[in-house]
Chain A
Amino acid sequence: MSTESLDGGAVSSVPRVVVPSRRIVYRHALPIRIMHWINVIALTLMFLSGLQIFNAHPRLYWGNRSDEGTAIFALGARQDAAGKMQGVMRIGKHEFTTTGVLGVSNGADGPQMRGFPSWLTVPGPQWLAMGRRWHFFFAWVFVLNGLCFVGYALATRHLQRDLLPTGADWRGIGRSIVDHLRFKHPHGEEALRYNILQRLAYLTVIFVFGVGIVLMGLAMSPRMDAVLSPMVEAVGGRQSARTIHFIIAWGFVAFVLIHLFEVLITGVFNQLRGMITGYYAIDASPGDPQPRAEEMPAESGPSEDRPHD
C-alpha cells in the first residue's frame, strides 16, 4: 500500500470536508433476522439428519423401484488387494476411491462401512430412527418458517421490491456477472440494493430449492403419495423424487458456500452485524464530493431509511 493513500499523505494540506466516510443504516427488519437464523438452524439440522437417513441405503435410483444393480449413485465399500476396506463413490459408471470420507470412514471402533462420515450426520453413529426424528421435527420448523417468510415478504412488499428483478436489473446482468467474477462489489448506497444475481439466487433458493425439496420430501411419503402420485410419476417415480431431494440438498449447500464466501469478501463483521442487529454500515460514495441530502452528517447514525427487509 502506498503512503499516498493514507490520511497523512499529500492530501493532508487540503482542508478536509467533514463527510462521514461510513453511514449506518437499518437494513434488515427484526422478523427477517429471526427467520434467517431459524432457517440456518433448521437447514443445518435437516441436512445433517438427512445424510443420516441417506446412509441407511446409500444409493440413488431413477424411477419407482430400486432394483439391484440399477443405482445411478452409490457410496459403498470394497476390499483392496491387501484385504483392507476401501471406500468407493460411484457416479454412473465412474468410481472414485473415497476411503476415510465416503463409503468407509472411522466410527467409534475404527473404520466402518457407512455412506457419509459420522462428522456429517445427526446423530453421529448409525441411528436411522433418531435421524428421522430430527429430520421430521425440523421439517416442520423449516416449512412453517418458510411460509412465514413468504407471507411477510409479500405483505411488506419485500419480495416485490427487493427480490423480483426489475427491467434495469435484467439489462445489467452481463455486467453483474463480470463484477461477481472479479469479486467487485458495489459500495455506498448501491450496496444496499440486491443485485440481479443476488435476486435470482434468493428467488431460486426460496421458490425452486425450498419448494422443490419439500415437495420431493412429501413424494417419498407413502401416505402422501395416495394423493400426490401424479406429481410423483411426473418426476419419474418415488426413487427419482429421493434422488432429486438429495440433489437439491446439495444445491442448498452450494448456495450456502457461495453466500458465506460473499459475506466474507464483503465484510464479515458488517454483514453479521447487519443480520444480527439489523444495522449495516455503508461507505459514503468516494466519487461523490457533494453528499446527497440523506448522507448529510445530521442524518448519519442509525438512519430512518426503510429497512432493507
Chain B
Amino acid sequence: MGVIIFLSLVLLASTTSKDPSPGWSRSVRDSRNMDCERMDGETASARHPGLIEAPGPRGDNIERSALVCRERVMAEGLRPARDEAVLMDLDDTVSGFALAAGSLRSDLTERTWLVEVHYPSAPVSSKIAFAAKNALNSQGLRVSDRAMTLSAGDVSVLTRLPPGEAWPAACRRYAAGGLGEGDALLAVVTRDPRETQLHAGICDRGQWTWLL
C-alpha cells in the first residue's frame, strides 16, 4: 500500500500544473513575481529547446501557443516600487526616447548628443543615463560623455520653478554655457515625484522641446 501511495505521489508531482496563476501550489506573491510572455509554439520551442515541443511540420490542427513565465530577478519589495517600475522597462523606454530624438528633425542627426537625467535616486539616474547614451549611439548618433554644469545661482533659481518652466530656462542657460551649436542635450526627467513614467525633452541651441 505504501508503495502505491509513493508511486502516486511521484506521478502527481510529475504532472503538477505549471500554471503561473495563484492556486494551491503558488501564492499570489509568487505569481506577481513572474514575468510572462505569450508566444507561438515554434518560437517557444526554439527559445526553450527540450522543454517545449515543437509543433509538427504539418501543424496540429489546433491553434497552440505557449505562455512562458520567468521569475523576476529582483523579487517584489527588494527595491523601491518606483525604481522597480522604471527599471523594468528601461530598455524599451530609452529606445523610444532615442528613436524620437533622432527622428524629430533631420539636422539633429548631425549634433553631438549629451544626456542628462533628473531622477530622485542617484544610482538609478546613472543607469538611466547609461541606457540613454547607448540607445542614442545605437541609432547611429554621435554621443559624448560630457556633463553639463550650471552655476549655483542658476540652480537656486531653476529649482524653484515648476518643471514646465524650469527646463526651458535651464536650456537657455546651457546654451549660454557649455552646450555649443553642434551639441544637443537629451534630458530624461520625472515631472512628478509620484509618477513612474519617465519624460524626455531636447535642448538644441537654446530651444527646449518636450519629446514624450
A and B bound?
A: no
What residues of chain A have their CB less than 8 Å away from a CB belonging to chain B?
A: none
